[in-house]
Chains A and B, each alone.
Chain A
C-alpha cells in the first residue's frame, strides 16, 4: 500500500462509517414496513434499452445498469414490496457526481403510484436525518437545507418555463432538455429545500405510465437536494404492448444513431403482462451519502473510484 493510498483511506474513514450507518438505517426503514430485501443478477443477457446509458459488456452479456427489470419480474410474480441495493455500471460516466460503478437503492410497491414514492423518499431521508442527529436542517456545501416535510413539488413544465423560458412538454427537444436541465433548471431550484421535479415529457420516460388525463407527460419524478440528482421514480407502465413498442423504438434508434446492438429483454416483456399497478424508485446511495457527509465529490464517499481501483 502506498503512503498516498493509506492517507486517502484514513481521511475517508469517518465518511465510510457514516455510509455504513446510512445503509443500516435504510435497511431498517424498509424492513419495518414489511419490504423484502432481494438480490438480482449484476450480469444479464439483456437490459433495458436506453439511448443515453451505455452498458459495459461482459462476455456478450451486460453488467447491470439498474435492477429495474428484475424487480418488475418479481412484482409480476406477486412480490408486493421489495427493495435492494444493487451495484450498477454505466460506461464513461465519471465526474464529481459520477463513477462508472455506483450503488442504486431500488424499491417497489404494488397498488400505488409515484406520489407514494415521493412520500417514501421523504420519510426515508427524514429517518436517516433523525438517526444521524442532524435534525430538520442540513448543511450541504454552501447551503443550509430545510428537510421538514412535505418537500416542494414542481412540474417540469413550470420549472422549465420559469428557469429556461420554454415548455418541453409541448415540444420535446431531448438535447436542449438535457442541457437546460443541468445548466439552467437544476442550478436554479430552491437551494434551501429538497425539490421533486414531476411529470416529465412523455418521450423521456420509457418505463413510466402516462399521466391519466394528460398524455403529454409521464408520471415520472426526480428528486433534487442541494444540486444533487438523488432519485428517479415512476408510476410503472403495466401495458405489455405499449412497453414492447417503446423498447423496439428505442432499440432501433440506438442501432441507427450509435450503431449499437441491444437485444430485446424478452423475459421482462412477457412479465409486464402480469405486472400489477405499481410504482418504484431508484435512489443513488453514493449521492445520498455525499449529502449527509457534506461531500463535494463522489470520491469522498467511496474508498476506490475507477481512478483508484
Chain B
C-alpha cells in the first residue's frame, strides 16, 4: 500500500517485522513533499519506536489476524494450543509467551495474534483460577506484619497470598499484574 493509505491502527511490515501504527503524524510544506512521522509498536517483541518517512514510500500490509485458541498441554519449551474453530493445533514457544506462561493451565482460552500462520502473541483472560499446590506455613511474625506468604500454583508460578490460603485451595489471579485477587469458593 502507498504511504498515504497508512492510518493510525494500520499494521505494516518493515524489514520483515510486523508493526502496528500507534500514532501517525502528517506534515507537509505546501509545495514540498510530505513527511510522515509514526510511533510504531513492534508486534513481535512489543517494543516501541519512532520513524520518519517520505511521500512515495510503499509498505506491505502485515496480514495480522486473531483467533481463539485453547491451551492443551506443555511439551518441554513448547506450549500446544488448539484453534477452537478448526480444532487444528499450533505451537508457541515459551520465550514468545514470556511471563504469560505462568498463567496457562489446561483448558485456558486465549486470543492468539497471528502473522499469516505464525503465532506472535497471546492475550490471556484478565482473571484465571489456579490451584495452590504448595504453600508455606505462615510464621507468627509474618501474620502480624505482612499477612502474606509465598505459595506455588499448579503452573509452577510463585505468588504472594494471604495466610489463610491452604494447599489445595483455588485462587483467582489477575494476569495483568500477576497478583492474588481472591479465594475461589468451590461449591460441592
Contacts and interface: CB of A to CB of B under 8 A. Distances in A.
Interface of A: 50, 52-53, 91-98, 174-175, 177-179, 181-183, 204-205, 222, 229, 232, 257-258, 282, 284
Contact of B35 (A183, A205, A232): A183
Given A95-B25, A182-B27, A183-B52, A174 B32 contact: yes
Contact of A178 (B2, B4, B25, B29): B29
B49 interface: no
B26 A178 contact: no
B26 A229 contact: no
A181 B54 CA distance: 13
A293 B31 CA distance: 25
Q: Closest 7 A-B residue pairs measured CB to CB?
A: A95-B26, A92-B4, A178-B32, A182-B27, A178-B33, A52-B33, A181-B29
A232 B32 CA distance: 12
B35 A93 contact: no
Interface of B: 2, 4, 25-35, 52, 54-56
A91 B3 CA distance: 12
Contact of A53 (B2, B26, B31, B35): B31
Contacts of B52: 179, 183
A181 B32 CA distance: 9
A267 B160 CA distance: 82
A98 B32 contact: no
A203 to B, nearest CB: 11
Nearest to B24: A95
A95 B35 CA distance: 11
A94 B26 contact: yes
A52 B54 contact: no
Contacts of A258: 56
29 contacts: A52-B28, A52-B31, A52-B33, A52-B55, A92-B55, A93-B34, A94-B26, A95-B25, A95-B26, A95-B28, A96-B25, A96-B26, A98-B26, A98-B28, A174-B32, A177-B32, A178-B28, A178-B32, A178-B35, A179-B35, A181-B32, A183-B52, A222-B29, A222-B30, A229-B30, A232-B30, A232-B31, A257-B56, A258-B56
B32 A52 contact: yes
A221 to B, nearest CB: 12
Nearest to A178: B32
Nearest to B4: A92
A127 B35 CA distance: 34
Given A95-B25, A179-B52, A179-B54, A204 B31 contact: yes
